Protein backbone atom coordinates (compact mmCIF):
# COMPACT_ATOMS: atom_id res chain seq x y z
CA UNK A 1 0.00 0.00 0.00
CA UNK A 2 1.20 3.51 -0.77
CA UNK A 3 2.17 5.36 2.36
CA UNK A 4 0.47 8.71 2.87
CA UNK A 5 3.92 10.14 3.28
CA UNK A 6 4.83 9.23 -0.24
CA UNK A 7 2.40 11.78 -1.64
CA UNK A 8 3.64 14.35 0.87
CA UNK A 9 7.20 13.72 -0.21
CA UNK A 10 6.32 14.26 -3.86
CA UNK A 11 4.88 17.68 -3.06
CA UNK A 12 8.38 18.90 -2.28
CA UNK A 13 10.23 17.74 -5.34
CA UNK A 14 12.01 20.89 -6.50
CA UNK A 15 10.49 22.27 -9.69
CA UNK A 16 9.51 25.54 -11.25
CA UNK A 17 5.91 24.84 -12.08
CA UNK A 18 3.53 27.76 -12.31
CA UNK A 19 0.57 25.70 -11.16
CA UNK A 20 2.39 25.41 -7.88
CA UNK A 21 2.93 29.14 -7.45
CA UNK A 22 1.94 30.36 -4.01
CA UNK A 23 1.24 33.94 -3.15
CA UNK A 24 3.54 34.80 -0.29
CA UNK A 25 4.16 38.17 1.28
CA UNK A 26 7.71 38.35 -0.03
CA UNK A 27 6.88 37.11 -3.52
CA UNK A 28 3.99 39.51 -3.76
CA UNK A 29 6.17 42.46 -2.81
CA UNK A 30 8.81 41.49 -5.35
CA UNK A 31 6.16 40.86 -7.98
CA UNK A 32 4.66 44.29 -7.47
CA UNK A 33 8.08 45.94 -7.56
CA UNK A 34 8.86 44.20 -10.83
CA UNK A 35 5.54 45.11 -12.37
CA UNK A 36 6.00 48.69 -11.28
CA UNK A 37 9.53 48.82 -12.69
CA UNK A 38 8.37 47.42 -16.00
CA UNK A 39 6.04 50.33 -16.41
CA UNK A 40 8.73 52.88 -15.77
CA UNK A 41 10.95 54.18 -18.55
CA UNK A 42 13.83 52.03 -17.42
CA UNK A 43 16.13 50.00 -19.54
CA UNK A 44 17.36 47.35 -17.18
CA UNK A 45 15.92 45.78 -14.09
CA UNK A 46 18.01 43.57 -11.90
CA UNK A 47 16.32 40.78 -9.97
CA UNK A 48 18.63 39.14 -7.56
CA UNK A 49 18.71 36.89 -4.57
CA UNK A 50 20.43 33.80 -3.26
CA UNK A 51 19.90 30.53 -5.11
CA UNK A 52 16.54 29.04 -4.19
CA UNK A 53 14.80 32.25 -3.21
CA UNK A 54 12.22 31.97 -6.00
CA UNK A 55 13.57 34.12 -8.83
CA UNK A 56 12.76 31.71 -11.65
CA UNK A 57 9.25 30.99 -10.49
CA UNK A 58 8.62 34.71 -10.06
CA UNK A 59 9.77 35.49 -13.60
CA UNK A 60 7.55 32.71 -14.90
CA UNK A 61 4.66 34.16 -12.99
CA UNK A 62 5.31 37.61 -14.43
CA UNK A 63 5.45 36.17 -17.91
CA UNK A 64 2.25 34.27 -17.41
CA UNK A 65 0.39 37.28 -16.06
CA UNK A 66 1.57 39.78 -18.65
CA UNK A 67 1.85 37.73 -21.80
CA UNK A 68 -1.50 38.86 -23.23
CA UNK A 69 -0.89 42.54 -22.54
CA UNK A 70 2.75 42.93 -23.38
CA UNK A 71 5.42 41.53 -25.64
CA UNK A 72 7.28 39.67 -22.97
CA UNK A 73 9.76 36.84 -23.34
CA UNK A 74 11.44 34.54 -20.87
CA UNK A 75 14.90 33.13 -21.59
CA UNK A 76 15.44 30.38 -19.07
CA UNK A 77 19.10 29.46 -19.44
CA UNK A 78 21.79 31.40 -21.23
CA UNK A 79 22.53 30.32 -24.76
CA UNK A 80 25.57 28.13 -25.32
CA UNK A 81 27.33 30.94 -27.17
CA UNK A 82 26.91 34.53 -28.21
CA UNK A 83 25.88 33.60 -31.74
CA UNK A 84 23.02 31.48 -30.52
CA UNK A 85 21.95 34.16 -28.08
CA UNK A 86 21.70 36.80 -30.79
CA UNK A 87 19.81 34.39 -33.03
CA UNK A 88 17.28 34.11 -30.23
CA UNK A 89 17.10 37.88 -29.79
CA UNK A 90 16.83 38.35 -33.54
CA UNK A 91 13.90 35.98 -33.66
CA UNK A 92 12.10 37.70 -30.83
CA UNK A 93 12.58 41.13 -32.39
CA UNK A 94 12.01 40.44 -36.04
CA UNK A 95 9.83 37.32 -35.71
CA UNK A 96 12.02 35.77 -38.36
CA UNK A 97 14.52 32.96 -38.08
CA UNK A 98 18.03 33.45 -39.36
CA UNK A 99 19.73 30.58 -41.17
CA UNK A 100 21.98 28.57 -38.84
CA UNK A 101 25.23 29.54 -40.51
CA UNK A 102 24.75 33.30 -40.47
CA UNK A 103 25.90 35.68 -37.79
CA UNK A 104 23.65 38.43 -36.54
CA UNK A 105 24.98 41.82 -37.51
CA UNK A 106 24.99 43.46 -34.13
CA UNK A 107 24.99 47.09 -35.17
CA UNK A 108 22.16 46.38 -37.61
CA UNK A 109 20.26 44.84 -34.72
CA UNK A 110 20.85 47.93 -32.60
CA UNK A 111 19.55 50.09 -35.45
CA UNK A 112 16.56 47.83 -35.82
CA UNK A 113 15.79 48.41 -32.15
CA UNK A 114 16.21 52.17 -32.50
CA UNK A 115 13.66 52.12 -35.30
CA UNK A 116 11.21 50.23 -33.13
CA UNK A 117 11.31 52.90 -30.49
CA UNK A 118 7.87 54.26 -29.76
CA UNK A 119 6.26 51.57 -31.89
CA UNK A 120 6.92 48.41 -29.97
CA UNK A 121 7.99 47.78 -26.44
CA UNK A 122 9.58 44.43 -25.76
CA UNK A 123 10.49 42.96 -22.42
CA UNK A 124 13.05 40.20 -22.27
CA UNK A 125 13.71 38.35 -19.05
CA UNK A 126 17.12 36.75 -18.78
CA UNK A 127 17.27 34.13 -16.07
CA UNK A 128 20.57 32.78 -14.73
CA UNK A 129 22.30 35.86 -16.04
CA UNK A 130 25.38 35.33 -13.89
CA UNK A 131 26.37 33.06 -16.77
CA UNK A 132 26.49 35.87 -19.31
CA UNK A 133 29.96 37.33 -19.58
CA UNK A 134 30.77 41.06 -19.31
CA UNK A 135 30.93 41.47 -23.10
CA UNK A 136 27.52 39.98 -23.55
CA UNK A 137 26.17 42.16 -20.78
CA UNK A 138 27.59 45.18 -22.51
CA UNK A 139 25.84 44.25 -25.74
CA UNK A 140 22.61 43.63 -23.90
CA UNK A 141 22.97 47.08 -22.43
CA UNK A 142 23.53 48.58 -25.88
CA UNK A 143 20.31 46.97 -27.08
CA UNK A 144 18.46 48.37 -24.11
CA UNK A 145 19.75 51.85 -24.95
CA UNK A 146 17.32 51.84 -27.84
CA UNK A 147 14.55 51.99 -25.26
CA UNK A 148 12.54 49.62 -27.37
CA UNK A 149 13.79 46.58 -25.48
CA UNK A 150 13.81 46.39 -21.75
CA UNK A 151 15.67 43.64 -19.93
CA UNK A 152 14.95 42.00 -16.64
CA UNK A 153 18.19 40.37 -15.65
CA UNK A 154 18.02 37.74 -12.95
CA UNK A 155 21.17 36.76 -11.12
CA UNK A 156 21.94 34.77 -8.08
CA UNK A 157 24.05 36.22 -5.44
CA UNK A 158 26.66 34.13 -3.71
CA UNK A 159 28.15 34.48 -0.25
CA UNK A 160 31.33 36.11 -1.38
CA UNK A 161 30.22 38.66 -3.89
CA UNK A 162 28.35 41.85 -3.69
CA UNK A 163 26.79 42.07 -7.11
CA UNK A 164 25.44 45.53 -6.82
CA UNK A 165 28.92 46.73 -6.14
CA UNK A 166 30.04 45.35 -9.47
CA UNK A 167 30.81 47.88 -12.10
CA UNK A 168 28.05 47.40 -14.58
CA UNK A 169 25.31 47.50 -12.02
CA UNK A 170 26.38 50.80 -10.64
CA UNK A 171 25.03 53.02 -13.33
CA UNK A 172 21.67 54.56 -12.83
CA UNK A 173 19.98 52.60 -15.58
CA UNK A 174 19.42 49.79 -13.14
CA UNK A 175 16.53 49.32 -10.84
CA UNK A 176 17.08 46.58 -8.33
CA UNK A 177 14.55 44.13 -6.93
CA UNK A 178 15.84 41.71 -4.37
CA UNK A 179 14.38 38.42 -3.21
CA UNK A 180 15.19 37.14 0.25
CA UNK A 181 14.81 33.91 2.12
CA UNK A 182 11.37 33.40 3.60
CA UNK A 183 10.31 34.63 7.01
CA UNK A 184 8.98 31.99 9.38
CA UNK A 185 5.47 33.12 8.51
CA UNK A 186 5.99 32.85 4.76
CA UNK A 187 7.71 29.51 5.06
CA UNK A 188 4.89 28.15 7.19
CA UNK A 189 2.35 29.35 4.62
CA UNK A 190 4.43 27.84 1.86
CA UNK A 191 4.58 24.38 3.45
CA UNK A 192 0.91 24.45 4.44
CA UNK A 193 -0.36 25.57 1.08
CA UNK A 194 1.76 23.10 -0.83
CA UNK A 195 0.30 20.24 1.20
CA UNK A 196 -3.26 21.56 1.16
CA UNK A 197 -3.21 21.91 -2.61
CA UNK A 198 -2.74 18.17 -2.76
CA UNK A 199 -5.45 17.61 -0.15
CA UNK A 200 -3.00 16.41 2.45
CA UNK A 201 -4.86 18.05 5.32
CA UNK A 202 -3.94 15.59 8.01
CA UNK A 203 -0.27 15.81 7.23
CA UNK A 204 -0.41 19.60 7.12
CA UNK A 205 -2.00 19.58 10.57
CA UNK A 206 0.58 17.21 11.93
CA UNK A 207 3.31 19.83 11.54
CA UNK A 208 3.18 21.95 14.65
CA UNK A 209 4.40 25.46 15.29
CA UNK A 210 7.58 24.31 16.98
CA UNK A 211 8.29 22.02 14.03
CA UNK A 212 8.02 24.99 11.68
CA UNK A 213 10.41 26.95 13.85
CA UNK A 214 12.94 24.16 13.78
CA UNK A 215 12.62 23.70 10.02
CA UNK A 216 13.05 27.43 9.55
CA UNK A 217 16.10 27.41 11.76
CA UNK A 218 17.78 24.68 9.72
CA UNK A 219 16.84 25.95 6.28
CA UNK A 220 17.10 29.66 7.10
CA UNK A 221 13.90 30.11 5.12
CA UNK A 222 15.43 29.19 1.78
CA UNK A 223 12.75 27.63 -0.42
CA UNK A 224 14.99 25.13 -2.09
CA UNK A 225 16.46 24.02 1.23
CA UNK A 226 12.95 23.86 2.59
CA UNK A 227 11.91 21.54 -0.23
CA UNK A 228 14.87 19.28 0.49
CA UNK A 229 14.13 19.28 4.18
CA UNK A 230 10.44 18.48 3.79
CA UNK A 231 11.20 15.79 1.25
CA UNK A 232 13.67 14.15 3.61
CA UNK A 233 11.36 14.41 6.62
CA UNK A 234 8.58 12.65 4.73
CA UNK A 235 10.99 10.12 3.35
CA UNK A 236 11.95 9.15 6.88
CA UNK A 237 8.29 9.11 7.92
CA UNK A 238 7.53 6.89 4.97
CA UNK A 239 10.25 4.49 6.00
CA UNK A 240 8.84 4.16 9.52
CA UNK A 241 5.32 3.93 8.26
CA UNK A 242 6.24 0.98 6.11
CA UNK A 243 8.72 -0.75 8.35
CA UNK A 244 8.22 0.25 11.97
CA UNK A 245 4.77 1.82 12.24
CA UNK A 246 4.90 1.73 16.02
CA UNK A 247 7.52 4.48 15.89
CA UNK A 248 5.35 6.98 14.13
CA UNK A 249 2.16 8.88 14.92
CA UNK A 250 -0.02 10.44 12.31
CA UNK A 251 -1.07 13.41 14.40
CA UNK A 252 2.37 14.89 14.84
CA UNK A 253 5.87 14.82 13.44
CA UNK A 254 8.38 13.86 16.11
CA UNK A 255 11.22 16.32 16.62
CA UNK A 256 13.60 13.39 16.30
CA UNK A 257 12.60 12.90 12.67
CA UNK A 258 13.26 16.54 11.84
CA UNK A 259 16.67 16.20 13.45
CA UNK A 260 17.38 13.04 11.51
CA UNK A 261 16.55 14.90 8.31
CA UNK A 262 18.82 17.78 9.35
CA UNK A 263 21.59 15.30 10.01
CA UNK A 264 21.12 13.65 6.66
CA UNK A 265 21.22 17.00 4.88
CA UNK A 266 24.26 18.13 6.82
CA UNK A 267 22.64 20.99 8.76
CA UNK A 268 23.86 19.35 11.94
CA UNK A 269 26.66 16.97 12.68
CA UNK A 270 27.01 14.22 15.22
N1 LIG B 1 6.12 31.85 -4.36
C2 LIG B 1 6.42 30.56 -4.57
N3 LIG B 1 5.44 29.67 -4.81
C4 LIG B 1 5.70 28.37 -5.02
N5 LIG B 1 6.92 27.86 -5.03
C6 LIG B 1 7.95 28.68 -4.79
C7 LIG B 1 7.76 30.08 -4.55
N8 LIG B 1 8.96 30.64 -4.35
C9 LIG B 1 9.86 29.64 -4.47
N10 LIG B 1 9.26 28.47 -4.73
C11 LIG B 1 9.90 27.14 -4.95
O12 LIG B 1 11.19 27.17 -4.40
C13 LIG B 1 12.14 26.49 -5.23
C14 LIG B 1 13.25 27.46 -5.62
O15 LIG B 1 12.72 28.51 -6.44
P16 LIG B 1 13.43 28.98 -7.79
O17 LIG B 1 13.92 27.80 -8.54
O18 LIG B 1 12.51 29.91 -8.46
O19 LIG B 1 14.65 29.77 -7.14
P20 LIG B 1 15.79 30.63 -7.85
O21 LIG B 1 15.93 31.86 -7.03
O22 LIG B 1 15.51 30.76 -9.29
O23 LIG B 1 17.08 29.73 -7.63
P24 LIG B 1 18.44 29.71 -8.53
O25 LIG B 1 19.18 30.98 -8.25
O26 LIG B 1 19.18 28.53 -8.01
O27 LIG B 1 18.03 29.56 -9.96
C28 LIG B 1 11.34 25.97 -6.43
O29 LIG B 1 10.97 24.63 -6.18
C30 LIG B 1 10.12 26.85 -6.45
O31 LIG B 1 9.05 26.20 -7.03
MG1 LIG C 1 16.42 30.01 -10.99
Please state the domain extents for the chain.
Answer: 4-15+183-264, 25-178
* Nearest Cα residue to 126 out of 149, 148, 147: 149
Residue 10 pLDDT level (bands cut at 50, 70, 90): very high
Query: Which residues have C-beta under 5 Å from ligand 2, the single-atom ion?
Result: 56
Which ligand does the CA of 53 lie closest to? Answer: 1
| DSSP code at position 126 | E
Residue 60 has pLDDT above 80, yes or no: yes
Residue 40 pLDDT level (bands cut at 50, 70, 90): confident
Q: Which residues line ligand 1 (CB under 6 A)?
A: 14-16, 20-22, 24, 27, 49, 51-57, 156, 223-224, 227
Residue 2 pLDDT level (bands cut at 50, 70, 90): confident
Q: How far is the CA of 54 from the centre of ligand 2 (A)?
A: 7
Give 222-267 as a DSSP string. -HHHHHHHHHHHHHHHHHHHHH-GGG--TT---HHHHHHHHHHTTS
Q: Which CATH class is domain 25-178?
A: alpha beta
pLDDT in the model for residue 194: 96
Top-confidence range, 6-20, 154-168, 207-221 = 207-221
Q: How far is the CA of 79 from the centre of ligand 2 (A)?
A: 15
Q: 144-181, pLDDT tens digit by residue?
A: 988 899 999 999 877 666 665 566 666 656 788 999 99
Q: Cα(135)–Cα(97) distance, rounded to whole angstroms?
A: 24
Amino acid sequence: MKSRYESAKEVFVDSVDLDDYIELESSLTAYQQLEHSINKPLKMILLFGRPGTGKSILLNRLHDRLKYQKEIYYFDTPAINEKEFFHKIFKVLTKKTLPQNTEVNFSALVNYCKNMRGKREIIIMLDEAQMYGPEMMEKIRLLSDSRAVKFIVSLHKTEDEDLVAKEHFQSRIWEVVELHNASLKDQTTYIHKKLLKKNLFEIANSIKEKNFKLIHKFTKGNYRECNKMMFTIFEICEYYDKNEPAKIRYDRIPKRIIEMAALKLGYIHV
